[in-house]
């Protein structure tokens, strides 16, 4: 109705009702009753019905989480990459690129994780996210056998997470002496 009869007064109501139904499918009380695979298929087929703005972002976030929960990392990554490139700005974009890097690392795509971390997110990066991004970068560098670069990146980070990462790097390199020092 909205496409073929845009001037018809009821078409706006029909379009709003369709968008509300679409949003309810993903955000409503029974959203978890739809399997993640079916939710992805419906999203792909009827994406033109999605609402704009905040509700759209909520739908995509929830769908990404559901896809990750069943190990559909390629599909979750594709959705998140579209979100990052086309819909997010500011701190939301920082969080999105950080999550994208994490998903790519989980999917054994270290180069892709580095590419996500290299996306322009501006200068408004909260300290906790900056540290997390640095640790993800170190993990990705380790995965592509740039261990000295990874260790140099987290050299001055005294957080527990950085210590665990250092220990993991040493362990993977079979550098038992340094791994033992970090574990101690």
Question: In this predicted structure, what is the pLDDT of residue 46?
Answer: 87
In whole numbers, what is the pLDDT of the chain averaged over residues? 91
**Cα angle for residues 18, 20, 24 (degrees, 5° grid):** 115
115: three-class secondary structure by DSSP: helix
Question: In this predicted structure, what is the pLDDT of residue 94?
Answer: 95
Quick one: pLDDT band at residue 184, thresholds 50, 70, 90?
confident
Phi and psi (nearest 5°) for 2?
-70, -35
Question: In this predicted structure, what is the pLDDT of residue 84?
Answer: 94
Question: In this predicted structure, what is the pLDDT of residue 49?
Answer: 83
Residue 18, pLDDT above cutoff 90: no
Q: Tell me which range, 4-18, 23-37, 42-56, 93-107, is most confidently predicted by mean pLDDT.
A: 93-107
Instruction: From 117, 93, 86, select the one nearest 104 (Cα to Cα).
Output: 117
How far are the Cα atoms of 31, 53, 117, 141, 160 from residue 38, in angstroms, in the given order?
Answer: 11, 23, 31, 36, 40
CA 98, chain centre distance (Å) = 7
Question: In this predicted structure, what is the pLDDT of residue 25?
Answer: 87
Rg of the chain taking only CA atoms, in angstroms? 21
Report the percent of the chain where pLDDT is more than 90.
65
Question: In this predicted structure, what is the pLDDT of residue 126?
Answer: 92
Residue 6, pLDDT above cutoff 90: no
């Amino acid at each position: 109705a909205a496409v073929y009869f845009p001037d018809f007064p009821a078409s706006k109501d029909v379009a709003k009702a369709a968008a509300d139904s679409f949003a309810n499918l993903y955000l409503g009380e029974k959203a978890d009753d739809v399997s993640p695979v079916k939710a992805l298929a419906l999203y792909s087929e009827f994406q033109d019905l999605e609402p704009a703005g905040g509700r759209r972002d909520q739908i995509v976030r929830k769908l990404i989480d559901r896809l990750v929960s069943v190990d559909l990392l390629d599909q979750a990554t594709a959705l998140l990459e579209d979100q990052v490139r086309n819909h997010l700005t500011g701190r939301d974009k920082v969080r999105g690129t950080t999550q994208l890097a994490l998903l790519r690392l989980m999917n054994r795509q270290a180069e892709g994780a580095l590419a996500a971390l290299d996306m322009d997110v501006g200068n408004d990066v909260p300290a906790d996210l900056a540290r997390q991004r640095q640790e993800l970068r170190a993990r990705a560098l380790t995965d592509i056998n740039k261990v000295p670069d990874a260790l140099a990146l987290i050299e001055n980070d005294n957080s527990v997470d950085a210590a665990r990462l250092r220990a993991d790097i040493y362990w993977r390199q079979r550098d038992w002496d340094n791994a033992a020092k970090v574990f101690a």
